[in-house]
Amino acid sequence: MEAFKILPVLKKKLAFLSGGKDRRSGLILTIPLCTEQTSMEELSATLDYLLSIPSEKCKARGFTVIVDGRKSQWNIVKTVVLMLQNVIPAEVSLVCVVKPDEFWDKKVTHFCFWKEKDRLGFEVILVSANKLTRYIEPCQLTDEFGGSLLYDHLDWLNKRLVFEKFTKESTSLLDELIVINENEKGSQFSNGLTLDFCPKCCFSPLITGHELLSELQQRRFNGSEGGGGGGTAWSPMDDELLAQPQVMKLLDSLREQYTKYQEVCRQRSKRSQLEEIQTKVMQVVNWLEGPGTEQLRTQWGIGDSIRASQALQQKHEEIESQHSEWFAVYVELNQQIAALLSAGDEEDLMELKGLQQQLSDVCYRQASQLEFRQNILQSAHEFHMTAQDLSQQLDGLLGMLCADVAPTDGAAIQQTLKHLEEKLKSVEGALQSLREKGQVLLDQMSTQTSFSYGKDVSIENKENIDHIHSVMEDMQLRKQRCEDMVDVRRLKMLQMVQLFKCEEDASQAVEWLGELLDALLKTHIRLGDDSQETKVLLEKHKKFVDVAQSTYDYGRQLLQATVVLCQSLRCTTRSSGDTLPRLNRVWKQFTVTSDERQHRLEMASAFHTAAEKILRESPELAELMVDVEAYEEVETVGKGLLDRLTVPVIFPDGSEQFFGSPGDMASSAESIRERMKLVEEKRFLQEELVTLQRERKN
């Protein structure tokens, strides 16, 4: 019976040989019953397999069976014990039924195993787990019974599978090797299968056997070290259960037969290998010097475009692929020759060295030609790619230069100009890269010599060199034409930048002039409380008007420059637009407003001057006479000024605008009335004084 046939049953651990021994050196067989129903058929199969493992000598010592019934029912335990009578009655010496505490006491009275000893053929005792050590040493019990013996069921099962597989494979292999070695060598080696037999079939059993033997020896050593206790694992994979000498004997027989087989193979292989190498060497040499060389002779061009160079590269890859097959044969042959040289006989050395030298010379020469051709094609492909990229860049730059420039503002022009400069710089870089790659290709072609088997490539190289120079010169001319057009476009764009700047600044001048007008109407409203303050306001007003005049003149100059730039650019669709009318309109409004402001300040100055003259007049002079004209002048100018304050500024387009707010005008008018009231009071006082003076004289 083999383990793999009942592997699912063995994995259930219905029974196991832990490696422990009783005091009579008999093996301990453990049957751990569980709460689930145990299949008697599976248990019987497990016991049959386990009992087939020990040797007859080991079986003669008898088994001690531990039936662990702590998790099972009494009737199952009884069935198992009775089953042992049929399965292994002669080998069983003692059956220890491990009972649960105080559970079966009453039932045991109905069935006593000791009374059935003669019928069963072995002694059965009921014992608690903690009292099992009365019959078996603790070091021979596993941990579930309070012992120190280590046992791993899966590890044991895996080792059994390895052992059985090794035994089966090695026995079969040994039989085949014996048959092969005993037959006559000459008649057997006509079958090529025998030559491939050993590498495929011998190594695996040998390696497996050595690993298994090493494991067994190690476990045996560890077990003997442990002696009678100490928790050391004593697996049933020791020499008593697995027959370690059987493994050693199989390994020795395999090595002996394998050595004989190797010698037989070596002699035959030596003769056939030398003949095969000679044949293959000549095949490689004849192809490389014939069809291989002819293929390279027909390939000399570099193409005139990317597509053409790619086609040549593809063709060269096909040639390389064909050569690679022969180079692979060369590598294999070289290794075979080297192996024969290191272990060959004296009479074969000269012939092998001659074959190796001939093969190496031809292969290296052909490989260098392939590599040189590949390098030229790669350089040509890079050259054509760079040329195509440069051509596309020049086309894009030319299209950009030929397109009409219609930017919306100066920033857009600056961005376009920057993009144009970047394009030109990229073109210059691509042209420089083309020159470098072209020079690399020319240098490679200048160092190219005749093929090893005689072909002058100077004529073909001249065509390739002329093509390279032609491409570089054509690109240089196209780049120069684009540079000239870029210079013209750059000048035009700079003028357009100036045009937009002038238009922008002119619009700004209009805005500034509008702000000055707005400030004049809203903030320049004071007329002064006396003549001195009014004079200061007049000076400030003149300066304010000068600033506005400068702003207007600046805007006019910018608009004139705009007209000149439009004429230079032949930009008939552009003009000053509505900027000039807006500038003139705002300036006229400002002029009317400033004149009105100037007139009001002059009237205020005349009013304050006349009023102050009257108010400063001495009483002595006032007693002589009343200056009626001076008083009338103050009154006339004051009333006129008050009337002026109520009148809005009327622009040329008919629109009206007041200075400041109504409150501001009311405040200014109130100040003038107060002054007029003071003058009127003084006039009244002076008239009374003159009347009194006349009365005194009379």
Q: Tell me, what's the pLDDT at 66?
A: 92
Q: Token match 């950009």: residue? A: 400
Phi, psi of 324 (to 5 degrees): -60, -35
Q: Are residues 180 and 246 in the same domain?
A: yes
* 174 and 251 inside one domain: yes
Predicted pLDDT of residue 471: 92
Type of residue found at 309: S
Q: 364 and 353 in one domain?
A: yes
Is 517 among the domain residues? no
How confident is the model over 253-279, as pLDDT tens digits? 888 777 878 777 776 767 777 778 888
DSSP letter at 144 equals G
Q: Buried b vs exposed e over 229-249: b needs ≥16 C-beta within 10 Å?
A: eeebbbbbbbbbbbbbeebee
Q: What is the predicted pLDDT for the residue at 110?
A: 44
Are 531 and 676 found together in one domain? yes
Provide the CATH number for the domain around residue 336: 1.20.58.60
* Residue predicted with more confidence, 319 or 498: 319
Q: Give the integer Cα–Cα distance in Å for 655 and 650.
A: 6
Count of domains in the chain?
Answer: 5
The model carries a pTM of: 0.42
Domain-located, residue 161: no
- Residue identified by tokens 């072909």 is 455
3-class DSSP assignment, residue 683: helix
For position 103, what pLDDT does the model report? 58
Q: 500, 413 in Cβ contact below 8 A? A: yes
Both tokens assigned to 629 = 């004209």
Closest to 554 measured CA to CA, from 575, 579, 573: 579
Residue 174 belongs to some domain of the structure: yes
Q: Quick check: is 67 in a domain? A: yes
Domain that holds residue 612: 525-697
DSSP codes joined into one string, 220-260: HHHHHHHTT-SS----TTSHHHH-HHHHHHHHHHHHHHHHH
> Quick one: 106 and 185 in the same domain?
no
Residue 519: inside a domain: no
- Please check whether residues 551 and 619 belong to one and the same domain: yes
* Domain final residue pick, 117, 151, 185: 151
pLDDT digits (tens, 9 = 90+) for 409-420: 667 777 888 888
Q: Which comes out higher in pLDDT, residue 6 or 55?
A: 6
pLDDT (tens digit per residue) in 363-400: 888 888 888 888 888 999 999 999 999 898 888 888 87
451 shares a domain with 352:
no
Residue 516 in any domain: the answer is: no
CATH of the domain at 579: 1.20.58
pLDDT > 50? residue 188: no
- pLDDT per residue over 416-451, tens digit each? 888 888 888 898 999 999 999 999 988 888 876 544
Which amino acid would we find at residue 540? K
Summarised one tens digit per residue, pLDDT across range 456-497 is 445 567 888 888 999 999 999 988 888 888 888 778 777 777
Mean pLDDT for the chain overall: 79
Residue that terminates a domain, selected from 239, 256, 277: 277
The residue type found at 202 is C
Task: Mark whether 557 and 483 lie in a shared domain.
Answer: no
Decide if 478 is inside a domain: yes
Same domain, residue pair 225 and 312:
no
Look up tokens 């500038």; give the residue. Answer: 583
Chain mean position to CA 452: 49
Q: For position 108, what pLDDT does the model report?
A: 53
- Name the β-bridge partners of 132: none
Q: Summarize pLDDT for 15-46 with one digit per residue, the tens.
A: 999 888 888 888 999 999 887 777 888 888 88
Q: What is the CATH number of the domain that holds 79?
A: 3.40.525.10
Residue 287 lies in a domain: yes
Instruction: Among 277, 312, 337, identify where a domain stops.
Output: 277
Give the integer Cα–Cα distance in Å for 224 and 309.
78
Q: Are 663 and 655 in contact (CB under 8 A)?
A: no
Average pLDDT for 310-334: 87
| Residues 532 and 644 occupy one common structural domain | yes
Tens digit of each residue's pLDDT (9 = 90 or more) over 42-76: 888 888 888 888 878 888 888 899 999 888 888 88
Verify that 574 and 666 share a domain, yes or no: yes
What 3 state SS string does 296-362 have? Answer: HHCCCCCCCCHHHHHHHHHHHHHHHHHHHHHHHHHHHHHHHHHHHHHHCCHHHHHHHHHHHHHHHHH
- Whether residues 210 and 332 fall in one domain: no
